[in-house]
Amino acid sequence: MLTVASWGTTLCTARRSTLADVEIGSVRGRFEMAAIPASAAPAAVERCTRLFGDLFNPVETILATLLSNVNPVAHAAEVLPNLTRIECAEDWPLFRYLTPAAARIAEAIDAERIAIAAAFGLKVRSVHEHTHLSYHVPLATYGEMAAAVHAKVGSPAGPTSFGHRYLVEDVPYGLAFFEAMGRVAAVATPNISGTITVLSSACARDFRSDNPLLEALGVDGMPVAQLLARCRGEAAQGHAWRSG
């Protein structure tokens, strides 16, 4: 049986500077990893450790790694207050404009993500813990941490197009996924849902419809126990997500 390893984030922060060159910003401290089937996780962790080092915290289900993804949280808070900068293609430093007000948006979204995970019996790290491990700055409010990152290592350039991955990837495949998991777990997500709606209006596209996987997988109305079983790779025959 094929084993699929799932990471909660990327190995490092990086940007392509030229077609051939990649600039490594920071190697992350530790992050979550799971596998499908769940029984194959120890072997997957061992292989990834041999390849990349002792960076992985094994978790029992890929749902934990999916809900551990803080990129949609941080990126939504970075783009939402800076939409006109993006639309005008301005040159703006990302962490410099992750101001305390913007950071409070991230913290509100993050609280809902953590509540969703808790409803599934899972514990995920906060955006504060993630930033601490990724950029090696002290724990504080998220606004203070963003300022510390900017002071320590500077800021990458912010998006200059509504076609940037912070919008076209992180909203439908990140925030819309969190929203759907909130419906399954009966957790209210007013900040997540409101952010999706506002960004959809600003970008003149329906970001919820941009994620065809949610409908194809049939997660709406799925019992929590069945979703968790699927995420462990149990009783997953073909595409029979709607069964049961």
- Please give the Cα distance from 82 to 157 (Å, whole number): 12
Return the pLDDT at 25: 74
Catalytic residue among 75, 128, 132, 150: 75
Sign of CA dihedral 74, 71, 68, 220: positive
Assign 102 to helix, strand or coil: helix
Whole-prediction pTM: 0.86
| 63-232 CATH fold | N-(1-d-carboxylethyl)-l-norvaline Dehydrogenase; domain 2 (1.10.1040)
Catalytic residue among 110, 130, 132, 170: 170
Find all residues with CB under 8 Å of 67, minimum gap 6, and list them.
113, 116, 117, 120, 122, 124, 178, 181
* Phi and psi angles of residue 36, each rounded to the nearest 5 degrees, phi first: -120, 125
Which sequence spans correspond to the domains of the chain?
63-232
How high is the mean pLDDT in each 10-residue block of the chain (244 residues)? 86 75 78 91 93 91 93 97 98 96 98 97 94 92 97 92 97 98 97 98 97 91 92 61 38
Which amino acid does the sequence have at 92? W
Concerning whether 75 is annotated as a catalytic residue, the answer is yes
DSSP letter for 38, please: G
Concerning whether 170 is annotated as a catalytic residue, the answer is yes
